[in-house]
């Protein structure tokens, strides 16, 4: 698996097939990037359970924050790592134990050892990507902010309820251009 | 659904950023001639204002027609994001407003469009953003100009009024050592001829008015974020790395990753200064961009034909076109714009100033006006017009001395273009 460059289909499949996240390192602080991602993913219909021992027991956007992955009461599909790369291995081991399908590490977080462990256990891995940005890119929403989605499409955008809400649709895609590899 | 093949430049020029309209199926991007956009509810509105949700709020800050234009140019320049504004000047204002604080210095090549020279020497000076001049032909002059106050370096890839090609890689090395972003005005080349990001640029600007729009009908400017500068690691650009007061303390470069600069430029400088592009102009420019590859190649082929013809003409004292083998920038042109050296260049008519004026007045096809990058061939005498507000010394430094005539060769039949200059020169 090439973790430098992901096929858009790989990311799209993960975001389309799965319905829930456990966000490890989620913060109730509204200026943190994790809060932005949490709120956005919830708006897109995902269940996002915040995991943060410092704030365990508090409520965040309708969900109760749990202290660790092992404290989750319901199964989750994707474990989102909003922590330092150093913590990726123990988080991955917990993710495997609780039956998650995907380990997703945030922008700037990459741990190839954790990736190997996850993939050996049959989980998919995404590293150094933000699910909000990827969802925004593949739905085309991020294009409204002038961001290069790196896709082209002859298809109608797929809409969700309300003004200016899209869900992920199809379309011809392309890989990240060489200049940024 | 994924194709192995990455879309080529010509395909991106037509398709990047655009999708059929969800409701009507309209294939072409609608002109969203609206100032504002309805919210679902108060929460939706708050999410948009907090930058949590993507979407349109108000026309000064964003517009869906404009967004297609932005994504298109970002894709063509291989950047992460772009921001369209009212003009090239506005693009420069927004870039520098985002990067600099009063008292900061920036290094700029002398070989620039006269309007940029004025902007830096006059209006930027008023903001206490201090330009330090260097020589595009001498990368070492940039090194010498670096001080502990330097915050950016600015050059044109293909310089106006023509003939000069900047050694982007060499200047990029200076910028990297100094820990500052390299800003490249790529207007005269367009991404078809040159992609500055490939040579180390961090930010690219264009006057969309010129070759990108290509038809002389709409003003516009654009800023492209190459996504290559690490604002957080640098720490010298508080607008990008420090908590943003008007956005509850988010750090732009942290929240928005490698397109943080483009977002900050939009939600801070554009929001507060207001030089927004009109949706109609964005549409016109988008349409023009679809034929950019065809037009640019014809521009370059025609320009080379004209330059060669002029070179051989006994009434012409010199021709400064980087596409001519004898030109001192020929080698750099082969490296940085191998498909062609653009179509804006200068030459001197024997008889100096007077002969130049006579030539300009006698043309019957070339339009005498202040613009470049139109389908129509254009001619002007820079010293008395576009570069008029410069001192005699600045004129020469910018390549616009008293005897200089500048042409922007269009995409008419080459025989007609040459024929016009022929009959006009006979009178000069």
- Judge whether residue A176 has pLDDT over 70: no
- Residue A154's SS3 state is coil
**CA neighbours within 13 Å on the CB side: how many for B417?**
26
pLDDT, one tens digit per residue, over A15-61 is 999 999 999 999 999 999 999 999 999 999 999 999 999 999 999 99
Strands B105-109 and B150-156, how do they pair?
Answer: parallel
Distance CA B55, CA B34 (A): 14
Which of B57, B63, B71 is the best residue to mutate to test the A interface, defined by the most A CB atoms within 10 Å of its own CB? Answer: B71
According to CATH, the topology of domain A8-130 is Rossmann fold (3.40.50)
Q: Which of A31, A130, A179 sits opposite B249 (nearest CB)?
A: A31
Distances (CA, A) of B70 to A145, B78, B85: 8, 12, 10
A147 and B6: CB-CB below 8 Å?
A: no
CB contact burial B132-167 (16+ within 10 A = b; e otherwise): bbbbbbebebbbebbeeebbbbbbbbbbbbbbbbbb
**How many Å lie between the alpha carbon of B238 and the closest alpha carbon of chain A?**
16
**DSSP string across B253-297:** HHHSGGGHHHHHIIIIIIHHH--PPPHHHHHHHHHHHHTHHHHHH
pLDDT at A180: 39
Query: For residue B99, what pLDDT band results from cuts at 50, 70 and 90?
Result: very high
CB contact under 8 A, B248 and A174: no
Residue A46: both structure tokens together: 């995902």
Cα A44 to Cα B280: distance, rounded to the nearest angstrom? 32
pLDDT at A137 over 80: yes
> Stretch A135-150: mean pLDDT, rounded?
95
Residue with tokens 């470049």: B372
Which residues from B are below 8 Å from A39, CB to CB? 47, 52
Mean pLDDT to the nearest integer, B369-394: 87
pLDDT score of A178? 41
Does domain B293-427 sit in CATH 3.40.47.10?
no
Closest partner CB to A143 (pick from B67, B228, B257): B67
The residues of chain B that CATH labels 3.40.640.10 are 9-288
Q: Which two tokens stand for residue A29?
A: 């602080």
Is B55's CB within 8 Å of A163's CB?
A: yes
Domain ranges in chain A are 8-130
Q: What integer is the mean pLDDT of B84-89?
A: 98
Residue pair B222/B191 in contact by the 8 Å Cβ criterion: no
pLDDT category of residue B364 using cuts at 50, 70 and 90: very high
Q: What is the pLDDT of residue B428?
A: 77
Nearest CA in chain A to B263: A145
Rounded to an integer, what distance in angstroms lies between the CA atom of residue B143 and that of residue B121?
Answer: 21
Q: Check CB contact of B40 with chain A, cutoff 8 Å.
A: yes
pLDDT band at B382 (very low <50, low <70, confident <90, very high): confident
* Partner B, chain A 101-160, Cβ-Cβ below 8 Å: 107, 130, 133, 136, 140-150, 152-157, 159
Beta-carbon separation of B195 and A179 below 8 A: yes
Is the CB of residue A8 less than 8 Å from the CB of residue A173? yes
Q: Is the pLDDT of residue A118 over 80?
A: yes
* Residue B161 preceded by cis peptide, ω within 30: yes
pLDDT for res A179: 42
Contact B56 A130 (CB under 8 A): no
Query: CB distance from B3 to chain A under 8 Å?
Result: yes
Please indicate whether, in this complex, the C-beta atoms of A31 and B243 are within 8 angstroms of each other.
yes
Distance, first Cα to last Cα, chain A:
16
Which SS3 state, helix, strand or coil, does residue A156 take? coil
Judge contact between B63 and B282, C-beta under 8 A: yes
pLDDT range class, residue A174, cuts 50, 70, 90: low
CB contacts of B195 in chain A (<8 Å) are 179
Segments of B38-135 assigned E as strands: 81-85, 105-109, 130-134
The model's confidence at residue B163, banded by pLDDT at 50, 70 and 90, is confident
Helix (H) or strand (E) holding B344: strand B344-349
Class of domain B9-288: alpha beta
Lowest mean pLDDT among A12-26, A151-165, B71-85, B177-191: A151-165
Q: Is the per-residue pLDDT at B103 higher than 80?
A: yes
CB proximity under 8 Å: A 18-77 to B:
30-31, 33, 36, 39-40, 43
In this structure, what token pair is assigned to residue B213? 């729009």
Q: Using CA atoms, how far apart are residues A10 and A8, in angstroms rounded to an integer?
A: 5
DSSP B45-67: HHHHHTTSS----BTTT--HHHH
Confidence of residue B384 (pLDDT cuts 50, 70, 90): confident
Whether residue B373 lies within 8 A of chain A, CB to CB, comes out as no
A122: Cα separation from own chain's centroid:
18
Distance of CA B191 to the CA centre of its chain: 10
Q: Is B114 helix (H, G, I), strand (E, B) or coil?
A: helix
What lies within 8 Å, CB to CB, of B321 at 6+ separation is: B162, B163, B303, B304, B307, B327, B341, B345, B347
Q: Would you say B59 and B188 are in contact if contact means Cβ atoms under 8 Å apart?
A: no
**Span B166-196, pLDDT tens digits:** 999 999 999 999 999 999 999 999 999 999 9
- Show Cβ contacts of residue A163 under 8 Å, excluding neighbours closer than 6 positions: B37, B38, B39, B40, B44, B55
- List, by residue range, all CATH 3.90.1150.10 domains of chain B: 293-427
Q: Name residue, tokens 């790395």.
A: B241
Q: What is the pLDDT of residue B383?
A: 76
* Nearest CA among B92, B75, B174 for reference residue B127: B92
Q: How confident is the model at residue B356, as a pLDDT?
A: 85
Pick the residue with more confidence: A177 or B322?
B322
- Say what the pLDDT of residue A181 is: 35
State what percent of residues in chain B have pLDDT above 90: 89
Q: Which of residues 198-227 of B touch A (CB under 8 A)?
A: 198, 226-227
| Confidence band, pLDDT 50/70/90 cuts, at residue A172 | low
Do B39 and A173 lie within an 8 Å CB cutoff?
Answer: no
For a pLDDT cut of 90, what percent of chain A falls above it? Answer: 84
Chain B residues inside the 8 Å CB shell of A140 = 19
For chain A, helix (H) and strand (E) counts, in that order, are 5, 9
DSSP assignment of A71-84, as one string? G-SS--SEEEE-S-
Confirm or reject contact between A2 and chain B (CB < 8 A): no
Would you state the pLDDT for residue B1? 41
Cα separation of B122 and B105, whole Å?
Answer: 14
Smallest CA–CA separation between A113 and chain B, in Å?
24
Q: How far is CA B284 from CA B24, B66, B74, B219, B278, in A?
A: 21, 11, 17, 10, 10
pLDDT digits (tens, 9 = 90+) for B14-27: 999 999 999 999 99
How many angstroms separate the CA atoms of B372 and B406, rounded?
10
CA-nearest of B104, B101, B129, B125 to B242 is B101
Say what the pTM is: 0.95
Check residue A173 and give its pLDDT: 55
Tell me if A164 and B55 make a contact (CB, 8 A cut-off): yes
Of A141, A153, A174, the CB nearest to B6: A174
Beta bridge partners of A158: A167
User: Across residues B77-84, what is the average pLDDT?
Assistant: 98
Closest Cα in chain A to B197: A179
For B235, residues 6+ apart whose C-beta sits below 8 A from its C-beta are B241
Spell out the alpha helix ranges (H) of B161-291.
168-178, 190-193, 231-234, 238-241, 252-255, 260-264, 271-273, 279-290
Tens-place pLDDT, residues B106-154: 999 999 998 999 999 999 999 999 999 999 999 999 999 999 999 999 9
Confidence band (pLDDT; 50, 70, 90) for B396? Answer: confident
């Amino acid at each position: 698996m090439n973790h430098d460059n992901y096929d858009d289909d790989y990311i799209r499949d993960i975001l389309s097939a799965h319905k829930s996240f456990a966000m490890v390192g989620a913060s109730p602080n509204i200026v943190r990037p994790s809060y932005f991602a949490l709120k956005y993913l919830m708006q897109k219909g995902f269940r996002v359970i915040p995991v943060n021992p410092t704030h365990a027991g508090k409520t965040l956007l309708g969900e109760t924050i749990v202290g660790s992955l092992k404290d989750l009461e319901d199964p989750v599909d994707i474990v989102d790592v909003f922590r330092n790369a150093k913590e990726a291995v123990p988080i991955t081991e917990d993710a495997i134990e609780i039956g998650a399908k995907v380990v997703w590490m945030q922008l700037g977080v990459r741990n190839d050892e954790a990736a190997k462990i996850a993939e050996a256990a049959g989980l998919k891995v995404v590293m150094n990507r933000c699910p909000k940005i990827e969802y925004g890119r593949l739905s085309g929403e991020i294009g409204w902010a002038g961001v290069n989605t790196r896709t082209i499409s002859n298809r109608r955008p797929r809409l969700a309820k309300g003004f200016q809400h899209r869900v992920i649709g199809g379309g011809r895609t392309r890989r990240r251009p060489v200049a940024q590899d | 659904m994924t194709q192995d093949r990455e879309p080529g430049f010509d395909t991106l020029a037509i398709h990047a950023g655009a999708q059929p309209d969800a409701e009507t199926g309209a294939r072409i991007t609608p002109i969203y001639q609206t100032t504002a956009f309805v919210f679902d509810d108060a929460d939706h509105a708050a999410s948009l204002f907090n930058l949590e949700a993507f979407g349109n709020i108000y026309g000064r800050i964003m517009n869906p027609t404009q967004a297609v234009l932005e994504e298109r140019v970002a894709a063509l320049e291989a950047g992460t994001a772009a921001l369209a504004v009212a003009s090239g000047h506005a693009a420069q204002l927004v870039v520098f407003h985002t990067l600099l604080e009063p008292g900061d210095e920036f290094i700029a090549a002398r070989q620039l469009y006269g309007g940029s020279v004025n902007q830096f020497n006059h209006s930027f000076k008023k903001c206490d953003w201090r330009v330090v001049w260097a020589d595009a032909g001498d990368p070492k002059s940039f090194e010498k100009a670096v001080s502990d106050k330097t915050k950016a370096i600015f050059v044109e890839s293909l310089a106006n009024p023509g003939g000069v090609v900047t050694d982007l890689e060499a200047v990029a090395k200076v910028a990297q050592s100094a820990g500052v972003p390299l800003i490249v005005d790529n207007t005269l080349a367009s991404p078809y001829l040159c992609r500055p990001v490939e040579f180390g640029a961090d930010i690219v600007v264009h006057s969309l008015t010129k070759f990108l729009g290509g038809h002389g009908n709409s003003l516009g400017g654009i800023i492209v974020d190459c996504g290559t500068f690490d604002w957080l690691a640098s720490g010298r650009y508080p607008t990008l790395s420090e908590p943003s007061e008007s956005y509850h303390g988010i750090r732009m470069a942290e929240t928005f990753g490698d397109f943080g600069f483009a977002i900050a430029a939009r939600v801070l400088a554009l929001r507060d200064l207001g030089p927004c592009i009109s949706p109609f102009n964005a549409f016109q420019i988008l349409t023009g961009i679809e034929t950019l590859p065809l037009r640019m190649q014809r521009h370059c082929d025609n320009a080379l034909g004209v330059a060669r013809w002029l070179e051989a003409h006994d009434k012409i004292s010199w021709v400064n076109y980087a596409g001519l083998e004898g030109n001192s920038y020929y080698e750099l042109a082969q490296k940085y714009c191998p498909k062609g050296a653009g179509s804006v260049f200068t030459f001197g008519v024997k008889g100096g100033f007077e002969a130049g004026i006579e030539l300009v007045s006698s043309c019957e096809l070339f339009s005498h006006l202040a613009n470049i990058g139109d389908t129509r061939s254009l001619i002007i005498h820079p010293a008395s017009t576009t570069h008029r507000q410069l001192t005699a010394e600045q004129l020469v430094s910018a390549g616009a001395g008293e005897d200089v005539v500048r042409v922007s060769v269009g995409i008419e039949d080459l025989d007609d273009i040459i024929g016009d200059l022929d009959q006009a020169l006979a009178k000069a």
